[in-house]
Chains A and B, each alone.
Chain A
Amino acid sequence: MFKAFLIKYAEIGIKGKNRHLFEDALVHQIKFSLKKCEGRFYVHKTQGRIFVEAESEFDFDEVVARLKQVFGIWGICPVVYAEDEGFEKLAETVVNYIDRVYPDKNKTFKVQARRARKDYPKESMEINADLGEVLLNAFPEMTVDVHEPDILLNVEIREKIYIYSEIIPGPGGMPVGTGGKAMLLLSGGIDSPVAGYMIAKRGVKIDAVYFHAPPYTSDRAKQKVVDLARIVSRYTGPIYLHVINFTDIQLYIHEKCPHEELTIIMRRYMMRIAEHLARENDCLGLITGESIGQVASQTMASLVCTNEVCELPVYRPLIGFDKQEIVEVAEKIGTFETSILPFEDCCTIFVAKHPVTKPNLKIIRRHEQNLSEKIDELVKTALETNELIIVE
């Protein structure tokens, strides 16, 4: 019965003169997300609203599931529309609508009519009253409550007449692409996809980098990261995933530096490489899934050491999250099942039994000097052999 969706958007309503940019971005994202749905859709904005109208048969559940992944959408209202064929006909349509959408009639309601077309013969207040009466007659169990109705029945008179009452919550946030672009350090774990999701929710487009260490990490581990990026891309749109071969750098650090500091020094090189890629790709920041104290390399002292190697801001949206809270988001966005597949990533293969938890920046810097002979060459090679995978 529903032929269209009215899209309610949240914060972008208040963005002043830039508002149309935000709306255009949202329309673009909606169009993109519906591409993979069965059916043809007409997405357009009109008088401060965005409408998605189906131009063919479509799968209601599939479309709603997709729209629930588009940042910037606050609510999705399934709409029934009718041609304007007089008030009698409208009343019939409304009764029909209530009958089908609410099997249980023991509810309070309020009619809220709006005339976008002023040549309609009745005024809004009149429509409210008349439709209210029709409904009370049709369904004696229903009562009117103008303050806190169970059902707020919207009737909008435009070219056609739009009827809706349900609001399905969207993900909120802002349309991707309105907030610039950032480089996500994506591993195969639980945290980093969630971090990418959270920053993307603020309208940020995501590029990603993955550090691959063959033969210590397998092609399946890499495939897992691609799969995770694909899940995140349902929300963010296409992701450019850079795969850096990190083996030689890692082995070189392993050879030259104290074992307990391996992870920290390795992380410093990852940040350096990520920043380099970020700048090359017009990103305005880095994103990591770090959370204070979760592992040795994420203590505050360790973050001091890994943070200092780059100048771009490093966004760490999970910094104050507990593991369980991260897992909850991962489950919600659908990355959890993939994240827990058991393939080793390059952070864990050589990890010391007791890595430093309070690294001293000066000492780390000094030990990094041990690498001076070959490291620049190795980093350069790693950047040159970067493999780009476009995930969508």
Chain B
Amino acid sequence: MELITTIKGIISLLVILGLAPVFSGLVNKLKAIFTGKIGAPILQPYYDLKRLLKKETINSGSSSFISNISPAINLVVVIIAAAILPIGFARPMISFDGDIILFAYLLGLARFFQILAAMDIGSSFEGMGAAREAAFSVFAEPIFFFTLGSIAFISGLTSIYDIYHSISLDNVSYIVFIIVCSISVFILAVSECSRMPVDDPNTHLELTMIHEVMILDNSGIDLFLYQYSSYIKLFIYAMLETSFFYPFGVKSYTVGIIIFIVVITALSMALAIVETITSRFKMKNIPQYLLFATAIGVLNLLIYTFTK
């Protein structure tokens, strides 16, 4: 039994690593269709990654060892974070009490190194991007703790797997939590993965970029590592969102997988629609948007307190 759980955990992680690019590809494809274009193939992210592997890696002459190690750290850390998340009802590879904190700060660590590497390169763009990323992440972090944290607080559990499994639909206020949480996790995903309306992943305008501008000077393997970890990161947030919907199925492995596929597809649809019909915010309005998501999380706690 123990062995099967471990195997399932490993399979989950492999699925995440394998499917992460296809999610980005799906969002882009849907976005293209909504705007009346044919769009790149869904597998385009894989082709891009393959192309990057063949390219030469060039680093700025003024950069130090930070630029060399940052891309690898970034990917490794994001993969470890991915190993904490469950797919369906399988116990993930890494799961222990308090892993919710580990999860949050693994992603924080990835960001830390990326910001450091951006400043290390010594271009004024990258410094600007690093400043923006750092400033907005200050507003993004509370979203995570007020949404997942509030459920942790309510359920009294501190492991992501346990938290999600404690959600039962018998309690009406839980349904409200799920709805509310999925909204704020969506906003969190949009901000952390630099999607619209916070950041435009398809823009070529270096002065408006947040995330993309930090990797402007990277190439070859380094860029491959950054790109791959950003695909995984987007997928991680999609999974966070998906997990809210598992309670709607009976607790079987297969049903969990089906829910996973359905919700992921629906989510890519939602992302694509949002990216099609909204325009980007003014940079100075982004904190307001993120604080709105935090406020939703606070609302969760209030609902809990008053319905108790």
The yes or no verdict on A and B being binding partners is: no
Measured CB to CB, the residues of B under 8 A from A are none
**Taking beta carbons and an 8 Å cutoff, which residues of A are in contact with B?**
none
